[in-house]
Amino acid sequence: ARRSRKGATIPRHHTCSACALGDQGMVAPSLAATTRLLRPSLVARQRCSVRAFEVPSAALLADAAAETSAVISLDALGNDIFFFLLASVVVVPLSRVLNVTPVLGFLAVGCAAGPFGLGILSDSEANVQLGDLGIVFLLFIEGLQLSPDRLLKLGNFFKLGLAQFILTIAAITAANLYLGPQVLPAAERFILLDDELVRPILSTPVLAFCLAGAGALSSSAFVLPELKQRGWEERADGTAALAVLLLQDIAVAPLLVLLPLVAGSGPQSSAELGVLVAKATFGFGGVLVAGSVLLRQIFSVVAAARSSETFVAATLLVAIGMGVAADALGLSTTTGAFAAGVLLAGSQYRQQIEADIKPFEGILLGIFFMTAGANLDPALCVAEWPTLLSGILAFLGAKLGLLFGLGAFAFGLTRAEAIRVALLLAGGGEFAFVVFKLAEDLGLLPTRLGGLLTASVIISMSLTPLLGELAEFVGDQVERIDANQAADARADELFDVIDADGSGTIEREELRRYLLGGGGRASEGGEDGNASFAELFAQLDLNGDGVISRDELRRGYVDLVLGEQRSAALQDAAAGGAQREPHGAGGGELATAPDAVVVCGYGEMGQRACDVLADAEAGHPLPPSVFAEEEEGGGGLA
């Protein structure tokens, strides 16, 4: 026993039956466990010339091995938790100083302390399970923040999430199986791809489906903070992104059920599958109905106890308990936690619940991402960087294209909103690790390929803050381009209105008549009272030929309709016209009062207000509802 090593077969020293462990060929669990069990006998044996040992049975050795493993596991988990807490104390303040998301810091620390780095983190399985609670609490808090109105808005985009999930899986699977074999030979001429890693994906339908399912998911832990930081939560693009994320979280459970089925394990009969579906739908539906009645009553009783410890314990119990119930019924734990948050969103205890659970969410999310970073093998990434980079770009491009196309052309988002949603959700998701782990357990995913796929998810998730910056920049640019195109269309309509004689150009008199709503004598008088009007006309007349062409009006449309020059021109021209035309004089035309000021808001409403004033000056009656109309982003009339 003293000579044995962990995992080594104990050698046979002599033929004594008490020392015949070597004959059995058993494997010693560890030196410490073996020496505790092999106790020296006080009675010397007649057949043995050396001091004898009492050798335990194989069952006792197995129990000892399990006990020793449990002790080592608890010790390692305790050390890991100490390291996690220490890292949290350091990473969060440092991230704020560097103005980066703490998640990137947690990933970097996990990579450095993991088995491929310094080897500080040891019990990765237990750490992952502990870190999963961070995702559970994240979705629970997100559910708490959903008011009925916001939940209704989310429902409008659930179809977008469902379409994205299904079409992404279908497109990536089809591309791998049908397009990949044709593209690979051409791609290998320029990129040094690893055939041993790529070929199984292109030739194994189940593996291709597994990759597509994992690639269709996005990261709630990365995207939700980005939405809050940029103030997009209540906007259409933020609501659409949140709806897609929630639909993906709900779809994880069916994906985990479907993967064993296509792999040939799990429920094999339609009856077993029907029971599973019934549990996930009717069973969880019953839990939701019961929860809607009981949860508020439970918190009323807990709050009456006036114990903060009890209130925190009840909050943790509800978040985790609903997750456990959902998991037992075939759904994901995050789905149950999110449902619990939604049920409590309208209660009077919502803010207190959110405040109590927030610290747990932050710490456990940090643990999750540190354990995720610990799975990143830098040596593998360097060795397979062409394959890794090609895979990341392919997945990002596929998700980005599908999300943009669906949002912009099928689900009512503008092009700017669709590009923001697509860029934010293009990265990988944390539940991809769960899918890969299941695929490895089913024997579908080779270890080396699994490590490379895990690295691709971690890297693409880490790109989410950068993708958020890109989404804001590109979205603003696209929005500006679309606004200019719309402005050109309105400028053409306005040109046709101002060009009263249809000459194809706007003369000075035509523009003045339009600004004053038809005041026939407004163009007379000195230029001193119309300096702003002259400046506006000169600004629009870019080539200085004395008339404004259609292209010149397009380029100066914003200044004419929305800018400060229009307001100044209206006031100055109105004042000059009033000095020359007393109220009620001359041809029945109305002159503008000297102190009249027209304030135009931003958008079409302000333009319509000017048209209403023109009709009033021309003697036409005002519609009774003209001042009751509103337009989003528009202005009004003072």
Amino acid sitting at position 574: A
- Measured distance CA(190)–CA(386) in Å, rounded: 10
Mean pLDDT of the chain: 74
Tell me if 597 sits within 8 A of 638, measured CB to CB.
Answer: yes
Inform me whether the pLDDT recorded for 419 exceeds 50.
Answer: yes
Percentage above 70 pLDDT, the chain? 68
The confidence score (pLDDT) of residue 65 equals: 53
617: confidence class by pLDDT, cuts 50, 70, 90: low
Is 318 in a helix, a strand, or coil?
Answer: helix
Quote the crossing angle between the two packed helices 220-230 and 102-113, to the nearest 10°: 150
Tell me if 69 sits within 8 A of 122, measured CB to CB.
Answer: no
What is the Rg, in whole angstroms, of the alpha carbon atoms belonging to the chain?
Answer: 36
106: confidence class by pLDDT, cuts 50, 70, 90: confident
Q: Which of 488-497, 587-596, 603-612 has the lowest average pLDDT? A: 587-596
Tens-digit pLDDT profile for residues 90-101? 888 888 888 777
Q: What structural domains and CATH numbers belong to the chain?
A: 1-80 (no CATH), 100-477 (1.20.1530.20), 481-628 (1.10.238.10)
The confidence score (pLDDT) of residue 18 equals: 41
- Arithmetic mean of pLDDT, 329-334: 74
Q: Which of 34-48, 60-74, 118-132, 300-314 has the highest mean pLDDT?
A: 300-314
Is 40 in a helix, a strand, or coil?
Answer: strand
Residue closest to 432 by CA, chosen among 482, 379, 391, 486: 391
Tell me if 215 sits within 8 A of 429, measured CB to CB.
Answer: no
The confidence score (pLDDT) of residue 611 equals: 67
167: confidence class by pLDDT, cuts 50, 70, 90: very high
The confidence score (pLDDT) of residue 433 equals: 85
Q: What share of the chain is helix, strand, coil (3-state, %, to 5)?
A: 70, 0, 30
* Distances from the Cα of 69 to the Cα of 29, 30, 120, 631, angstroms: 9, 10, 18, 69
615: confidence class by pLDDT, cuts 50, 70, 90: low
614 vs 321, which has greater pLDDT? Answer: 321
Query: Within 13 Å, how many C-alpha atoms sit on residue 409's CB side?
Result: 7
∠ CA 63-68-73 to the nearest 5 degrees? 125
- Arithmetic mean of pLDDT, 316-326: 84
Let me know how long the chain is: 638
Inform me whether the pLDDT recorded for 229 exceeds 60.
Answer: yes
Cα-Cα-Cα-Cα dihedral of 61, 67, 69, 74, to 10°?
-170
The confidence score (pLDDT) of residue 27 equals: 40
The confidence score (pLDDT) of residue 437 equals: 82
Inform me whether the pLDDT recorded for 421 exceeds 90.
Answer: yes
The confidence score (pLDDT) of residue 622 equals: 55
Residues contacting residue 415 through CB under 8 Å, at least 6 positions apart: 408, 478, 479, 482
Residues contacting residue 346 through CB under 8 Å, at least 6 positions apart: 147, 148
Residue closest to 605 by CA, chosen among 634, 569, 572: 634
Determine phi and psi for 27, rounding to 5 degrees.
-100, 125
The confidence score (pLDDT) of residue 168 equals: 92
The confidence score (pLDDT) of residue 533 equals: 75
83: confidence class by pLDDT, cuts 50, 70, 90: confident
Is 10 in a helix, a strand, or coil?
Answer: coil
The confidence score (pLDDT) of residue 371 equals: 81
Q: Which residues on neighbouring strands pair with residue 54, listed in sequence order?
A: 39
333: confidence class by pLDDT, cuts 50, 70, 90: confident
- Arithmetic mean of pLDDT, 275-279: 72
Q: Which of 127-131, 190-194, 587-591 has the highest mean pLDDT?
A: 190-194
- Measured distance CA(241)–CA(228) in Å, rounded: 12
The confidence score (pLDDT) of residue 598 equals: 53
- Arithmetic mean of pLDDT, 546-572: 67
229 vs 287, which has greater pLDDT? Answer: 229
Q: Which of 122-126, 397-401, 461-465, 505-509 has the lowest average pLDDT? A: 122-126
* Distances from the Cα of 204 to the Cα of 264, 326, 447, 453, 610, angstroms: 14, 32, 16, 16, 67
Tens-digit pLDDT profile for residues 290-316? 777 788 788 888 888 888 888 888 888
38: confidence class by pLDDT, cuts 50, 70, 90: very low
Tens-digit pLDDT profile for residues 457-468? 999 988 998 999
425: confidence class by pLDDT, cuts 50, 70, 90: very high
Inform me whether the pLDDT recorded for 85 exceeds 80.
Answer: yes
- Arithmetic mean of pLDDT, 381-406: 91
Query: Within 13 Å, how many C-alpha atoms sit on residue 113's CB side?
Result: 24
The confidence score (pLDDT) of residue 482 equals: 87
Tell me if 590 sits within 8 A of 583, measured CB to CB.
Answer: yes
- Global pTM value: 0.65
Tens-digit pLDDT profile for residues 462-515? 899 899 999 999 999 998 888 888 888 888 888 888 888 888 888 888 888 887
Distance, C-alpha 9 to centroid of its chain: 52
Tell me if 335 sits within 8 A of 250, measured CB to CB.
Answer: yes
Tell me if 159 sits within 8 A of 411, measured CB to CB.
Answer: yes
258: confidence class by pLDDT, cuts 50, 70, 90: confident
